[in-house]
Structure 1
Amino acid sequence: MKRTSRTSHSDEEEDSNWDAWGAWSECSRSCGGGASYSLRRCLTARHCEGQNIRYRTCSNHDCSPDAEDFRAQQCSAYNDVQYQGRYYEWLPRHNDPTAPCALKCQARGQNVVVELAPKVLDGTRCNTDSLDMCISGICQAVGCDRHLGSHAKEDSCGVCAGDGSTCRLVRGQAKSHVSPEKREENVIAVPLGSRSVRITAKGPAHLFIESKTLQGNKGEHSFNSSGVFVVENTTIELQRGSERQTFKIPGPLMADFIFKTRYTAAKDSTVQFFFYQPISHQWRQTDFFPCTVTCGGGYQLNSAECVDIRLKRVVPDHYCHYYPENVKPKPKLRECSMDPCPSSDGFKEIMPYDHFQPLPRWEHNPWTACSASCGGGMQRRSFVCVEESMHGEILQVEEWKCMYAPKPKVMQACNLFDCPKWIAMDWSQCTVTCGRGLRYRVVLCINHRGQHVGGCNPQLKLHIKEECIIPIPCYKPKEKGPVEAKLPWLKQAQELEETRMATEEPT
């Protein structure tokens, strides 16, 4: 029977002389990505086409930061085994281009490199800079999706098999003008989630980091020598030389980093920066706005709102406009309220009535109408002192009997909210694909709560349709003009219909 270390095609392609696949073995590793195998046997005496073993990845979650390297564990297992009559402490030899899946180890403190085993354990990484793993002594491709045989790669944004659309490249340089009077200066802010960060300072100024987490915790981090450091769970490599400092951060950053310079000498410094910044604000389409009519057939549009991906909340649109590649989606249009209108329509408002008041008490008359329907006005009311008789009758009495009862205010401000105003939604697409057509938008009377109401001045209403021209010639017979789409809602969007009083009432 043929034995292999990799399965590259499905069971359906195998012949029927194989027994069913057995159970998967225990994973070769408990974390960091290991391998598991399954076996089957040939049921006939003749040769079976295909493979009797298959592999899959397992335990793909990351190991804890203090966990020992898997190849190092295998080398250290030989520390109590003599080599040429001596005991050595063995350290792993990584990234061997000729035999990546052999266990080559080096004796600590000595120039002794030995192949202690022809094969590393299944699941050992072939190289430190990839997910490819050794299985049965052969280096097998592993994609970012952690699937065996996959060649999927992360894009610059850290998205597996992505197209790079969720981040943007930020690169450039800035002059740092620190001085004895201005000892510190912000140079560049690198937000949480950024990747492939490289910041280089050329000049005497000292480059350091100010961090801020999502929880609002701030910290300052300054380094005086080269090395690898961890700041806010983010690994940083610093290369420091004479008037040159370079920070390299693979990312993603686990906090916002602000790179700052501090004065050390009377000479300007130049800071070069390069990183991929996540697009933290994206457009999300809204629900449809209320229908233009309540019956008889109308139309409604939706819009798009800007969402902060990190905080999962709606923010003002200018946050999304910050990214040129963030194109706001066109509004969608659909028919609505297609049922025929009834012969009459209306509603009743039921006002609550308060039954209980302490006695004797001030009883007030209703407030007068507000002097303004919106934008702020005043209203008044009058009072009388009343007392309840033994028979339950409410009688007006002298005012001195209410002298110990708190007297409510006689005057108050009212309708302080802004007056409703006309708000126009985005234009729909043109109703034709060539030549002249029309495009529509919903114009709503919006109150201070953002609700669709009545009360706006009809004379000030914005127009709801306009002509649009698609600069593509219509290849039609000469006697026929451009054909406008015959949509059922088109007749509902006429200016004449839109100015009816019925549409000015809340729907």
Structure 2
Amino acid sequence: GQVGYIQLGSEQLLIQPVNASETSFSGKEHFIRRRRSTKPGHPSRPQGPEEHCKVVAEKKRQKKVKSTSDWRERRNAIRLTSEYTVETLVVADADMVQYHGAEAAQRFILTVMNMVYNMFQHQSLGIKVNIRVTKLVLLHSRPAKLSIGHHGERSLESFCQWQNEEYGGAKYLGNNQVPGARDDTPPVDAAVFVTRTDFCVHKDEPCDTVGIAYLGGVCSAKRKCVLAEDNGLNLAFTIAHELGHNMGMSHDDDHQPCAGRSHIMSGEWVKGRNPSDLSWSSCSRDDLENFLKSKVSTCLLLTDPRSQYSVRLPHKLPGMHYSADEQCQILFGTNATFCKNMEHLMCAGLWCLVEGDTSCKTKLDPPLDGTECGADKWCRAGECVSKTPIPEHVDGDWSVWSQWSMCSRTCGTGVRFRQRKCDNPPPGPGGKNCRGASVEHTVCENLPCPKGVPSFRDQQCQAHDRYTNKKKSLLTAVIVDDKPCELFCSPLGKDSPVLVTDRVLDGTPCGPYETDLCVHGKCQKIGCDGIIGSAAKEDRCGICSGDGKTCKVVKGDFNHTKGMALKDSSKRSINSDWKIELPGEFQIAGTTVRYVRRGLWEKISAKGPTKIPLHLMVLLFHDQNYGIHYEYTIPVNYTAENRSEPEKQQDSLYIWTHSGWEGCSVQCGGGERKTIVSCTRLINKTMTLVNDSDCQRVTRPEPQVRKCNTHPCQSRWVTGHWSPCSATCEKGVQHREVTCVYQLQNGTYVNTRDLYCLGSKPATVQSCEGRDCLSIWEASEWSKCSADCGRGIQKRTVTCTNSQGKCDAATRPRDEEECEDHTGCYEWKTGDWSK
């Protein structure tokens, strides 16, 4: 036997003899295994300004950082439904139809699409997605407007344009008829083009890419497209993988928790794996859920009533449609047959013999499920097992629920979950998947967390802190409003948060003062009854699911001040003594008071009830007046005792106020600014600035001081405007001035040496093309002479081809001239026949 390896591009095939094998006509049996490449194996993705405009290839050369998807879940996201239908157009290229033959190509594609349908029915996806073929087109010649070549991205763009022109005029939008639409146009949510042309993503040459698609392009008229290479039995995997991209799924390698595993959205096809043996990763499921919750997926909620007459897919196992010999012919051509002496290993990998060859060969792929591998046996998921009748249309059912997990938190409100599986029984071919969720969450309550303990989100930041060996953590949690269930942390003293992980721990509050909790990376509503997803709410009187009739609301507006302060009769307070508190929770008047501040906007709220009187005060600033709105509830039978009438005439009150801020002392490098302290008179709720001498009996407070413009003074590149193009017509050059400048603390800039500026120096020269190319006239051929006997006129068309439509009329060629033609002046005449 032989021991060694075969180098195929960037991959290695290890070969070694089977110890107990016998020598056959094709030689001694050997094992061939694929060594995992040490290099990344996928073509690079193009980086565009918008994530959803990307073209994703099934294989990539290098991994790039993926920006946040535009369809990430938002608070107002669309709710998921139990079932989605992808109405799919499938087009077979002329080269594929010619290779297989029209009838065989149709049978092959329908079998492949049945495999794709079953992959999207796999319970690991968590959502029922029906791939429905609404139109199958077999091209016998390539249309003039359809350009398919080695350059994959251009071919995909051409196909998308072509299918939109041919099949873009759908007659129905859901159940509503579209006025003026074509009757013969099938509904199309996604379009698949299958070709035998070997293509590459960004190069006009063959390579190992077998499929590309627009990321998140389903439902978009010119991006709902997939380009797949007919690579034999793995075509089903390629189409399912690319349709996954088209429905918003990224490669598993782009998600840290799912990288390095074998799933349908893995970056590389795993040789030796049967498509029916592969499942969807949890990351693919999350990507799909986020996409389906976005508005760009709404076409999947609408089903054209005509699609019930769509192309019917075969329900039998694919190997029941194709014998081992036929599968070899798909892989290696019409002269290939199955190697009979490899029957004992055929379910692990299909071995074929091509007429004229002396040895069998394989592509390491197992045969299709249902392929016979012996007497009353067939291949299932890569193994040869006994044939048992496959019950048709067996619907799946759930197992019993597991025990509840431990609470996600040891104090405060947390979350626990339980699971079940769709295996009692699992769904058979053509059967329905289990309906409902496979995971259920519920709220769990613990003892309140001790005072002084960091918030649950802060604890998660501290757990990721690289400086955990220090006594005080350097990271604090920051909540990003539109991404409440992702963990952002910020070093103390800095404003720029860093994404630590894309999913906080279950039970983390969505916001600092919200009852909603993050569960499995999504913000879930928690009803006042403690049930996740419950719509139960407290009424304005604080009663869960109440009718709001046991109390009344007192509300009003006070429009005189800016800063707010709160104090109870026991002297506990917020924002008193000229100090502005950080937002947080405070125990005042027997209840928890929450103070929120976002810029100049402030809010003080408490669930209540209060046990002692509360006094709302204000910090008097002379800036813009934003006003105060207040409201509170009291029982309907409440009567205030000893309520005093407001005095009709109030004496004038003189106080010192911080009426504004001075400018910063420096422009950069760290300075300070102080408040402006002014004497203010209050009378009848009116505030007026007066002379400082009027406040001589009141102690003047020291001005407050803040640091400002703490960023260091830096150098930066300053670019001038580009000069006009050196050529007024055709190619030329442009110049501009680029200077490195340094900012002084007083705000002025001075020139400095280039080495002090960060980053490469911007270009000072660039190529350009002048557009003032005059006198570009183009004339057509002369027409036929208007007379065929004598003088006439002949004409031609003269067009200005200048890009700006400017041509010199003086140089315009003639479009009409005289001509002379005598061909019509003569005719043959015959006399009588001679005797």
TMscore range, shorter length = 0.3 to 0.5
TM-score between both structures, scaled by the size of structure 1: 0.37
TM-score between both structures, scaled by the size of structure 2: 0.24
* Greater fraction helix: 2
